Amino acid sequence: MSFLKEISIKTSEHTQMVDITAQVAAAVRESGVQDGLCVVFSDHTTAAVTINENADPDVQRDFIKEINKIVPWDDGYHHREGNSAAHLKASMTGASETVIISGGKLHLGIWQGIYFLEYDGPRNRHVSVKVIAG
């Protein structure tokens, strides 16, 4: 058995981490799956998904600060659309995360959250949540 849900996300910043843990957990509950896997996937080439600490907002600020240093927005790229940095960041951080489902809940560490990473916002975005029993 599997279940698919799309989560809408409206970003407000050019580069932003949006905590989507609650929406993903709600999709798992809606699926009714007690044990299995949950895949969270971004089908955007200028956005990504990651798991990181959700207790201290300074972690998000530090992440954004450092990734912008590693891949600056304007660095003489050739891509005509002007958002090469967003494409690079999305490839570096990845399009998906997989989380174990146990007892009908996401099996995340106490400080872990699931984040949507916006690198070319603000935009209206979405992620797909695929819940697979097993």
> Residues 29-62: pLDDT tens digits?
999 999 999 999 999 999 999 999 999 999 999 9
Task: Check residue 15 and give its pLDDT.
Answer: 98
Task: Check residue 21 and give its pLDDT.
Answer: 98
Task: Check residue 3 and give its pLDDT.
Answer: 98
Distance CA 9, CA 21 (A): 12
Place of tokens 């007892």: 103
Contact 108, 21 (CB under 8 A): yes
Write down the pTM of the prediction.
0.96
Closest CA to 44 of 92, 87, 93: 87
Task: Check residue 44 and give its pLDDT.
Answer: 98
Q: Check residue 49 and report its DSSP letter.
A: E
How many CB atoms neighbour CB 64 within 10 A?
18
Question: Over the stretch 75-123, which tens digit does the pLDDT of each residue have?
Answer: 999 999 999 999 999 999 999 999 999 999 999 999 999 999 999 999 9
Task: Check residue 14 and give its pLDDT.
Answer: 97
Number of domains in the chain: 1
Task: Check residue 51 and give its pLDDT.
Answer: 98
Confidence of residue 128 (pLDDT cuts 50, 70, 90): very high
CATH number for the domain harbouring residue 107:
2.60.120.460
Residue 12 backbone phi and psi in degrees, to 5:
-120, -5
Helix (H) or strand (E) holding 83: none
Domain of residue 126 covers: 2-133
84 Cβ partners below 8 Å, 6+ apart? 75, 77, 78
